[in-house]
Amino acid sequence: MKTLIFSTHPFEKPFIQEAFKLKKNQEFHFSKDHLSIQSAIQAKGYDAISLFTSDDASAKVLKKIKSYGIQYIALRSVGHDHIDLKSAAKLGIKVANVPEYSPYSIAEHTVALLLALDRKIPLGQELIKQNNFCLDSLVGFDLKGKTIGIIGTGRIGAAFARIMHGFGCKLLGFDIIQNDELMEQTDIIYTSLNKLCAQSDVISVHCPLTKFTKHLVNKKLFKSMKKKVIFINTARGSIVNTVDLIEAIENKTIAAAGLDVYEFEIPIFFINHLDKPIEDKLFKKLQSFPNVLITGHQAFLTNEALKGIAATTASNLDEFSKKGSSKNELF
Ligand code: NAD
């Protein structure tokens, strides 16, 4: 089987090379370009492609790669909101994702954002660089005893819940499926989304982006939140209505926001913009707030997670080549 790996980043290359060493019947090549209608031609001559979250796997692009002979797609992500699965199925292209890799990578990054915002680490650093050691603007709060609202208590949400349980926090959860084991381990209480918002001092989003969760966090929900909540999103940008988020920051419903994902991140993230300024007005607005901490979709970026992503991607492709199906196939 011959695979073209689109959107290859230097940080993941050694992990992919290592994972493929064990798969003898696999030939693979790297492309640093992201998949788009223009770059789809690169797929010619391959049986499979591997995609990153920034790739465009919409119906028209899938149709094009199918015409070049692509039969399989291995996603290097948990999230699969960037691929039109219905069109892939219609075209007979089989798709597999990485349903699980270190959930601690994202959960721990969520904690990093929360602690940095609560204890005002970025502002403190800035002041120290100006030789200003006054503490007056740096007062935070103890997390012990505070209420943490977790939207989506799957692998990552549960890992985050366990960490916050260790901090001595009270946990509220909202999910379409209750996690009984997590309830036993952390005393998390499942409640409605509105009650979670009304009672939480910190709200963290960990559900997938689906047609049901697009703009789940919107003006109405921000209105139901406790004033001065810390809001964190490390899941997907489009779960949150960005215009409404900006309004909630401006009207001080939100004391601070930690964002690893952004609704319109695709032309911005994973690229060095030193030579081409960012035009996106909403993003520039978010960047301008001193109480907003943005990371560029890097929550997954640990050695353990990269190793896990590469290993599952290689074995998904191996299964496709040997059996024509994969245990991680998406339907
Ligand atoms: P998971 O499938 O284990 O958990 C998702 C949870 O969300 C499940 O418990 C599910 O029942 C729940 N859910 C689904 N629809 C919901 C709804 N409408 N309302 C409330 N809850 C709902 O997935 P996971 O591994 O925990 O990953 C969660 C998400 O995190 C992924 O879908 C992905 O978008 C995002 N993610 C981000 C990064 C990053 O680097 N920032 C990395 C990996 C994953």
pLDDT attached to residue 306: 98
Instruction: List all residues whose CB is within 6 A of at least one atom of ligand 1.
Output: 78-79, 103, 106, 151-157, 174-177, 206-210, 212-213, 234-236, 260-261, 297, 299-300
Q: How far apart are CA 172 and CA 189, in angstroms?
A: 5
172, 175, 207, best to mutate for ligand 1 pocket (most atoms within 8 Å of CB):
207
Nearest atom within ligand 1 for CA of residue 101: 25
Residue 319's identity, in one-letter code, is E
Which sign does the torsion angle of CA 233, 126, 128, 105 carry?
positive
How many angstroms does the Cα of residue 326 sit away from the middle of ligand 1?
Answer: 21
Query: Smallest Cα–Cα separation from 116: which of 301, 291, 250?
Result: 291
Q: Compute how many other C-beta atoms are within 10 angstroms of the C-beta atom of residue 216.
A: 19
Give catalytic residue positions.
236, 265, 297
pLDDT tens-digit readout, 274-325: 998 999 999 999 999 999 999 999 999 999 999 999 999 999 999 999 999 9
* Single pTM value for the model: 0.96
pLDDT attached to residue 22: 84
Residue 278's identity, in one-letter code, is I
pLDDT tens-digit readout, 108-143: 999 999 999 999 999 999 999 999 999 999 999 999
Token output for 243: 């215009």
pLDDT attached to residue 24: 83
List the strands of the sheet with 27-30, edge to edge. Answer: 27-30, 2-5, 48-51, 72-75, 94-96
Which residues fall within 8 angstroms of residue 147, CB to CB, at 6 or more apart? 169, 170, 171, 172, 199, 200, 201, 202
* DSSP, res 263: T
75, 111, 151, 156, best to mutate for ligand 1 pocket (most atoms within 8 Å of CB):
156
Token output for 112: 């990093």
Nearest atom within ligand 1 for CA of residue 100: 25
